[in-house]
Amino acid sequence: MKEFKKGDHSWFVHDRFGMFIHFGLYSLPARHEWIQRFEEISPENYQKYFNNFNPDLFDASAWAKAAKNAGMKYVIFTTKHHDGFCLFDSEYTDYKCTKTPYGKDILRQVVDAFRQEGLRIGLYHSLIDWNHRDFTIDIYHPLCKHPDKDKLNAGKNMANYREYLHRQTREILSNYGKIDILWYDFSYPGSEGGKGHEDWDSQNLVELIRSIQPEILLNNRLDLPGSGDIITPEQSTPENPIVDESGNPVVWEGCQTFSGSWGYHRDEMTWKSEKQCIDMLINHVSRNGNLLMNVGPNGRGEIDSRAMTRLEQFGKWMKYHSESIYACQAAPAEFKEPRDCRYTWNPETRKLYLHFMNWPSNYLILPDMQGRIAYAKFLHDHSEVQFAENNSSVLHGNLAVRAPANSVTLKLPTNAPEPVVPVIELQIN
Ligand code: GLC
C-alpha cells in the first residue's frame, strides 16, 4: 500500500465532539437530503428549490453559538451535497447560493462565525454530483431509470467532471482560510454503474489537497486505501475500538443523526432521546472515537426546536462532565468495565471516568482495582464517593455479601443522581 502523508490528529483526538451540518436545496422539500434520488426528480423539476432558496433567518453565529454551547469543538459543513448545489461562491458554476434569491455566500459566513466562537472548520464535499452535465448517470443518480439513460450517458465526459471536482477542491481549500478537515462523500466502486478512485482521480486529488493544506485531516471515502486520516462509520456505534490490519487502534469519527435524515426532515418522528444522545457521545469516546452529531437546518436557515433542545441537553451534560470527554480515550484493558458502565481514560492526568448507563443503587463492585484508587468523586457536584477495598462486605438487601478478592466496592446513593448519565472520576495511583 502506498504511504500517504498524514494530517495533524493531535487536536482531533482531544476535541472529540463536533457538529455536522447538512444544509442545501433539500432543506426546502424537507423530505431527506436524497429526495432528488428517492423521488427520481429530474433537474428541471428540482429547479424550483433553487428558485425558492432564501433562508431569511439564517444566522451563522446562532449556529456557531449553539454548537459551542453544546460542547462541540469543530464543525463540518456541506459545501456541496449530491444534488450538486454549492453553498459557496464557486467560479466554475452558477448552481450556487449566490445565484439564488438569497444571493450571499453561505460558506463564508459559516467559517467566519464558527472561527469567531473558537471552533475548527471542516468541509463536507460531495464527490457525487447529480447536477453536473458530465457526471454520468449511475446506480444512485435520479435519472437511473430514464429510458434514454445510455444515450444520455454517451454524450457525457467524466473527465470534465473530474476537472470540476479538482478545481472546486482547490477553491474551497484556498479561499476560506485554514481548513482542518476535508470530508468527501462518497465512493461506491465495484458494482456496475458505481464510481471510485479512477472517476475522481483520487491520487492527484490527495496530492492537491496536501499541497494547499498540508496538515488537513482527510476522511476515508476516496476509495484510495491508506489516504484517509479518519475512519468514518455512519449511523452505527462500534462495539470496540476500531483497529487496523495489525490490530492497532485507528482514529475514527462516528457521524450520527438525531432522527435518521441528515437534511431537514419535517415529518421524521424517530428522534433519539436525550439519554440516547448522551449515551452515544460516551459510547464513541470510550471506544476511541469522536462523535460528529448532525443538524439539518430548515429552509429558513434555522435549527428547529427539536434539534435545539437536544443541543441544549448536550450542553447541560457537558457543562458538568466535559472532563470525561475531552482528551479522553478508551481505558487500558486492565480496567474492566463493570456491568452497564463505560470507562473513558485521560492518560495525561491518569483519571478514569466511570459512566453509569444504568444506575445500580447502593454499591458497585470494581473487579481487580484493589489499591489502584487514590480518590473518587462525582463529577457533577464533586461529592466524595466512599469505597471499601478487598473482601469488604456490602449490604445486599438485608444480606451481607462479600465482594470478590482484589475488588473495590463503591458506596453509592440509593437513588440515581440528577444527571442523565452520572459520572464518577477515579484518580488512579
Ligand atoms: C451518506 C449519504 C449522505 C450523508 C452522509 C453523511 O453517505 O449519502 O446523504 O451526507 O452519508 O455521512
What is the whole-number distance in angstroms between the Cα of residue 185 and the centre of ligand 1?
A: 7
Which one-letter amino acid corresponds to residue 2?
Answer: K
Q: How many CB atoms lie within 10 A of CB 147?
A: 8
DSSP 258-304: SSS-SS-BTT---PPPHHHHHHHHHHHHTTTEEEEEEE---TTSPPP
Q: What percent of the chain has pLDDT over 90?
A: 93
The predicted-structure confidence for 352-403, as pLDDT tens digits, reads as follows 999 999 999 899 999 999 999 999 999 999 999 999 986 666 655 555 667 8
The predicted-structure confidence for 390-413, as pLDDT tens digits, reads as follows 666 665 555 566 788 899 999 999
pLDDT of residue 154: 95
- DSSP 8-state code for residue 82: T
Among 23, 234, 268, name the best residue to mutate to test ligand 1's pocket (greatest count of ligand atoms within 8 A of Cβ): 234
CA dihedral 236, 239, 245, 247 (to 10 degrees): 150
Question: Of the candidates 405, 332, 329, which has an alpha carbon nearest to the alpha carbon of residue 365?
Answer: 405
210 CB-near residues (< 8 Å, 6+ apart): 5, 216
C-alpha distance from residue 317 to each of 8, 277, 325 (Å)? 29, 11, 11
263, exposed or middle or buried, with CB in 10 Å at 0-12, 13-18, 19+? buried
Cα 137 to Cα 142: distance, rounded to the nearest angstrom = 8
The whole-model pTM stands at: 0.97
- The model's confidence at residue 220, banded by pLDDT at 50, 70 and 90, is very high
Q: Ligand 1 atom closest to Cα of 128? A: 8
- Res 62 pLDDT > 70: yes
Among 186, 252, 253, name the best residue to mutate to test ligand 1's pocket (greatest count of ligand atoms within 8 A of Cβ): 186
The predicted-structure confidence for 13-23, as pLDDT tens digits, reads as follows 999 999 999 99
Q: Ligand 1 atom closest to Cα of 221? A: 7
pLDDT of residue 403: 81
- Res 69 pLDDT > 80: yes
Nearest CA to ligand 1 atom 10: 262
Ligand 1 pocket: which residues have CB below 6 Å? Answer: 22, 33-34, 185-186, 234, 255, 262
- The model's confidence at residue 237, banded by pLDDT at 50, 70 and 90, is very high
Q: Ligand 1 atom closest to Cα of 124? A: 10
Question: Of the candidates 85, 63, 21, 139, which has an alpha carbon nearest to the alpha carbon of residue 302?
Answer: 63
Task: Kindly give the residue spans of alpha helices, DSSP state H, lying in 302-422.
Answer: 305-321
- C-alpha cell, 275: 439519554
Q: Ligand 1 atom closest to Cα of 232? A: 12
The predicted-structure confidence for 151-170, as pLDDT tens digits, reads as follows 999 999 999 999 999 999 99
The predicted-structure confidence for 308-322, as pLDDT tens digits, reads as follows 999 999 999 999 999
Please report which helix (H) or strand (E) contains residue 377, including its range: strand 373-378
